[in-house]
Chains A and B, each alone.
Chain A
């Protein structure tokens, strides 16, 4: 079971780059790493997914070192609307015993 550990909270200011790290020491070979964003009273929303090295899309980058025991979500130039809870999810979801596990989430507060 790939348990994940994230910082409970982070503060930032508008326009800054934010990096949130997730630890997953016992990640399995077939596991993917996925990040979700959640606003109050809404379901989580997909941000980015990766398996190794670096992945970039229009909203974020995901950095995964060679040992895959951690991953870092990078949000460039955050705005007030990026204030949310960010979850790291590890698993392949393809078989029982390797279930998808959300961490406790990181509460990001972006200040003006």
Chain B
């Protein structure tokens, strides 16, 4: 089966600009996650969707980050405006349901200058 797809793979923007990331999960997976991974640290969960509803977004900086999951399938994560500290790899993962193993995409490496 096809894995989790993410685009773009790399993005360089200036601070205060906006950026969007796209994720296509594995077909049939009900749960979708967005993580932020800063260099040298473990992934930090930003938001978790169950189908098209939000389960947890307690660590999402809602003043600048937003996410949606269209029709319970694809998802986009947006940052507006970006700050220097947003430089990180943004990982999307999906799972069959909430406590099943997660399958991760390759990530998008964001550099904010």
Contacts and interface: CB of A to CB of B under 8 A. Distances in A.
Interface of A: 32, 34, 36, 41-46, 49, 87, 92-97, 99-105
Nearest to B103: A46
Interface string B52-75: 000111110000000000000000
Which of B58, B102, B105 is packed against the most chain A CB atoms within 10 Å?
A: B102
A99 B56 contact: yes
Contact of A87 (B42, B56, B99): B42
A34 B101 contact: yes
A100 B48 contact: yes
A44 B104 contact: yes
Given A42-B106, A94-B55, 4 more contacts: A46-B101, A96-B56, A99-B59, A103-B42
Q: How large is the interface on B (under 10, 10 to 19, 20 to 34, 35 or more residues)?
A: 20 to 34
Interface in B23-47: 31, 33, 35, 41-45
Interface of B: 4, 31, 33, 35, 41-45, 48, 55-59, 91, 93, 98-99, 101-107
Contact of B45 (A41, A97, A100): A100
B99 A32 contact: yes
B64 to A, nearest CB: 20
Nearest to A34: B101
A34 B33 CA distance: 15
Given A43-B107, A93-B48, A104 B55 contact: no
B42 A94 contact: no
A86 to B, nearest CB: 10
Contact of A94 (B35, B44, B98): B98
A93 B35 CA distance: 14
B58 A97 contact: yes
A99 B45 contact: yes
Nearest to B54: A96
